Amino acid sequence: MIARTPEPPYYAVIFTSLRTDTEQDYAATAGRMLELAADQPGFLGVESARGADGLGITVSYWASEDDIRHWRVQAEHREAQRRGRADWYRAFRTRVAKVEREYGMG
């Protein structure tokens, strides 16, 4: 689904990753992180895709940089980050961007 975001400005956190072959708890944890993020102040939405080659991109949208900082240090999220580094990702990058314009259809 395409996230329904408000009029800019707002922020995007772009998480690009390459998965390992380890599946242990990944799907359950990913689902829990989406559920938990949706309950955080300033969360605006999320879009995610993963290719057969293991490359994934998840973009979460936030009202402010402070909201992003609070999410980054949330306890369950910190544990998921630890597991990601140890078990689930061969490589990843997190990028934070300010959305200044938005346009489209549908």
Q: Tell me the per-residue pLDDT of 89-98, one tens digit each, with 9 for 90 and over.
A: 999 999 999 9
Residue pointed to by tokens 């949330």: 74
pLDDT attached to residue 77: 98
Average pLDDT, the chain: 96
- What CATH topology corresponds to 10-99? Alpha-Beta Plaits (3.30.70)
Enter the tokens of residue 49: 């895709």
Q: Tell me the per-residue pLDDT of 42-84, one tens digit each, with 9 for 90 and over.
A: 999 999 999 999 899 999 999 999 999 999 999 999 999 999 9
- The residues spanned by each domain of the chain are 10-99
| Residues 64/56, Cβ–Cβ less than 8 Å | no
pTM equals 0.94
DSSP β-ladder status, 55-62 and 43-50 = antiparallel
